[in-house]
Amino acid sequence: MKIAIVGAGCSAVLLCKELARQGHDAAVSEITVYETTGHFGPGLPYGQATTTPEFILNMATSTLGTDVEHAYGFLKWLKAQPGCETTDLNDYVSRRQMGQYLAKELELARHTLARFNIRLRTLAQTVIDVKAEHPGYTVTTAQGDERFDNVVLAVGHLKKQTPYPDLAHYYANPYHDLERLKTQVRPGATVGILGTKLTAVDMALMLSGLGAGHVAIYSNSGRIPLVRGAVLDNPVGTQRRLPERVSISGFLNSFRHMRSFSAEYKGLFAPLEPLERLQREIQAAAHVRDWQIWLDATKTWIDEFWTRLDTVQKRRFQRKYQGLWMSYRHPMPLDNALKLEALIKAGRVSIHRGYKATRADAQGNILIDLSGQTLSVDYAIDATGFAGNLARLDSPLIENLLDRGLIRQNSHGGIAINPTTHLIDGQRGVYAIGPLTQGSLFYVSAIERLAVHARNLVTHLMTNNSRVQPSLSSLQQ
């Protein structure tokens, strides 16, 4: 059996590890991984060209690793590196170190696969199309076509189309555009950032460090991420089962009644001015925050909870609560919070609510309309990420797959897949994993969840191929 994996970031690494664990039981002969950049393992979030040394992980080292069963994989690897000083469970290290770890994990998977006579090929090529054949699928790149029994789309964070193609100083994809940002944003400039979550914090800190005069961050709510408290080793007493009532109100009631969480400070669950909120959060982050531990533990069942929510509840969440969830569930590291506080106090960063629109005046100046005021900025960045609309991606591959009908969009965004098996709707041998499956699933970027998703996908792929038509390799014999 021949398998193609399109994309070579974290999801692809986890798939290869899982295929090394299961593949020898299902006559897998060859795995081909395609990656446009030629860098296999790091992907966009942890790559050399798409991060800076100052970009740190938003999770403590002790909570990260590529194994479903064994914690501390990343921390163990870090400690083995020459000159490493990371020993604390609460350390937050450079994202590039995670990229190096993932590249090493891919090489370990390659060696394991080789012991079972499974060849792992890594090709620095851009996949532009996938066509269904009988049997199998044809993968097309500029270098030619190749047939496979199964294809997995693990394309990661694709670029969005820019809504303002005539604005040279508008950046729709800040991580993809990182080198342009670093060279084009001039010292003393005013920069506007749409979005107030973790990506916006990254960009504000980086641009301020490069000499930007002022950075304005804005969104509809103006809510910035809260701050991560101290991390416990093996926390206990957390919620590891679904709430009895599968609804948004059922989730909130479960949170209230699981145990009595202290509010920590007045206004924890209410709107506050950004600097006041940030300062209270910094104080609270010196301690273990019980409610954060509870929310972290929802990762074990949140995908099932999401799939069981009805359509009305899902739409209500996406419309009213998603931004709130992101602020509380995905807090920033304390180091970043302290830097952001200093910049706000110095008047170099401001945070605004009431975002309405981005536009250009007759002279080409970029204007940001907010409730009650309009900002004029020299550069504008969209830090809102993928919103679920496949048609707005800047990807010839996705465009071709949509036109061909090989994929379709889930009603809540992303590629429509079976949330248990990751098989793309209507296909017998094409799967998807990672950010483009958000909508069918809930958590699609966190490493610990991707490891579970990779296991589920590979388990189905192995089982599915044991009962379908002969593979290409058997037909060619």
Average pLDDT over every residue of 16-35: 90
Average pLDDT over every residue of 307-333: 92
Same domain as 153, residue 278: no
Does the pLDDT at position 116 exceed 70?
Answer: yes
Same domain as 399, residue 378: no
Same domain as 364, residue 429: no
Note whether residue 237 is domain-resident: no
CATH number of the domain residue 418 falls in: 3.50.50.60
Same domain as 133, residue 20: yes
Same domain as 132, residue 11: yes
Note whether residue 355 is domain-resident: yes
Give the pLDDT score at 474.
Answer: 43
Does the pLDDT at position 344 exceed 80?
Answer: yes
Give the pLDDT score at 362.
Answer: 86
CA 211 to chain CA mean position, Å: 28
Contact of 173 with 450, CB cutoff 8 Å: no
Note whether residue 362 is domain-resident: yes
Say whether pTM exceeds 0.75.
yes
Same domain as 137, residue 58: yes
Segment 356-393, tens digit of pLDDT? 999 999 888 899 999 999 999 999 999 999 888 999 99
Segment 187-206, tens digit of pLDDT? 999 999 999 999 999 999 99
Distance CA 472, CA 95 (A): 40
Q: What are phi and psi of 230, to 5 degrees?
A: -60, 150
Same domain as 403, residue 338: no
Of 448 and 103, the structure prediction assigns the larger pLDDT to: 103
The two tokens of residue 283 are 């104080």
Contact of 440 with 410, CB cutoff 8 Å: yes
Range with the poorest average pLDDT among 183-197, 262-276, 311-325, 422-436? 262-276
Contact of 46 with 95, CB cutoff 8 Å: yes
Same domain as 48, residue 140: yes
Range with the poorest average pLDDT among 187-196, 249-258, 445-454? 249-258
Note whether residue 242 is domain-resident: no
Domain boundary among the residues 292, 309, 329 is at: 329
Task: Name the residue range of residue 259's domain.
Answer: 248-329
Note whether residue 235 is domain-resident: no
Contact of 9 with 44, CB cutoff 8 Å: yes
Same domain as 320, residue 349: no
Same domain as 125, residue 66: yes
Note whether residue 252 is domain-resident: yes
Give the pLDDT score at 235.
Answer: 53
Give the pLDDT score at 470.
Answer: 45
Does the pLDDT at position 260 exceed 80?
Answer: no
Note whether residue 314 is domain-resident: yes
Average pLDDT over every residue of 449-456: 96
Give the pLDDT score at 476.
Answer: 42
Note whether residue 180 is domain-resident: yes
CA 380 to chain CA mean position, Å: 22
Domain boundary among the residues 344, 366, 382 is at: 382
What is the domain count for the chain? 3
- Reported residue count of the chain is 477
Same domain as 274, residue 184: no
Same domain as 136, residue 23: yes
